[in-house]
Amino acid sequence: MSKTDETNERYRAPALDKGLDIIELLSGVEESMSQSEIAKALDRSSNEIYRMLDRLVRRGYVARTSADRYEMTLKLFGLAHRHPPMRRLVSQSLPVMRCFAREAEQSCHMTVYDRGSLVVIAQVDAPGYWGIAIRVGSHISLLNTGSGHLLLAFAPPAERALMLEEREVMPHEIRVADFDERLNRVRAQGYEMMPSQQTAGITNISMPLMGPSGRVLAALTCAHLPRLDVDNPRSTDEVRERLEAAAREITAAAGGDWPDGPEGGRE
């Protein structure tokens, strides 16, 4: 056994592991699960799972339905948004995002990097009764999205390497040819604009949101959908310009500096 394995064994907390296993399992399924289904999925006995489920229900992380099944509550979501920097960024950004959505007639969302993938922390729908929307809390690909390219492009080299090393591999992940060259181009022009790798006809436009330290905080992205139901729909270039204006406004509110210049304004 290696020294790392010995350390991991020494500091094991089996009860905590079981609770986290249950939370991670339930957070990844659409439907509720029975106690026996949870036990089978985690390869544990029903007796082991019962006590942990009881505690999670009593603490409000899991809800027990009238059909004696279990599902996640929104408690973890609420706790995540109590984190001051995250709450402040979302609070500053939402009014600007709503203004962009109204003027551009498009939806937009904000993503941050979190341990190998991107997490959507804010979403504003397009005006009207239809549009492209990504659920808040969704995990999306680092390689197959404009947001991912943007955050990789503006990360320092060592941080970029770590992000790629620990990335969560998503289904149907495709790494574009000349990837480093692509990221360098994104950084130089200050944004990413690319066809969606998930939905035909969509163009992803992503802008950086910069913080006081000169580091990228998040990506602001519009999944541009050509509109046929409005008079004089905004072109892709018009939407890109409006999205840049929104990103500049959010960056200023966050006390950051917009990355002007041929190399994105950062060394």
In angstroms, the CA 165 to CA 159 distance is 10
In angstroms, the CA 53 to CA 70 distance is 8
Beta bridge partners of 120: 111
Residue 7 has a pLDDT of 47
In angstroms, the CA 225 to CA 247 distance is 19
The one-letter amino acid code at 181 reads E
User: Contact, 162 vs 152, CB < 8 A?
Assistant: no
Picking from 115, 183, 180, 174, the residue whose alpha carbon sits closest to that of residue 147 is: 183
| Number of other residues whose CB lies within 10 A of the CB of residue 252 | 14
In angstroms, the CA 49 to CA 40 distance is 10
In angstroms, the CA 23 to CA 72 distance is 7
In angstroms, the CA 121 to CA 139 distance is 10
Residue 267 has a pLDDT of 37
In angstroms, the CA 10 to CA 1 distance is 12
In angstroms, the CA 245 to CA 266 distance is 19
User: Quick one: tokens of 67?
Assistant: 């059909």
Q: How many residues are recorded in the chain?
A: 267
Helices within the chain (DSSP H only):
3-10, 14-27, 35-42, 46-58, 75-80, 84-104, 146-153, 157-165, 179-189, 236-253
Phi-psi group of 258: left, alpha or beta (phi > 0 → left; psi -120 to 50 → alpha; rest → beta): beta
Residue 231 has a pLDDT of 65
Residue 146 has a pLDDT of 92
Residue 3 has a pLDDT of 47
Ordered structural domains, the chain, with CATH: 3-75 (1.10.10.10), 81-253 (3.30.450.40)
- pTM surpassing 0.75? no
The rounded radius of gyration (Å) of the Cα atoms in the chain is: 21
End-to-end CA distance of the chain: 43
Beta bridge partners of 72: 62
Q: For the chain, 267 residues long, give each residue's pLDDT as a single digit of tens.
A: 444 444 455 667 788 888 899 998 998 888 899 999 999 999 999 888 998 999 999 998 899 988 889 998 877 766 665 566 678 889 899 999 999 999 998 999 999 998 788 999 999 998 877 777 788 888 888 888 999 999 999 998 888 888 888 887 766 666 666 888 889 999 999 999 998 777 777 899 999 999 887 889 999 999 988 766 666 677 889 999 999 999 999 999 988 888 865 444 433
User: Contact, 187 vs 154, CB < 8 A?
Assistant: yes
Residue 266 has a pLDDT of 39
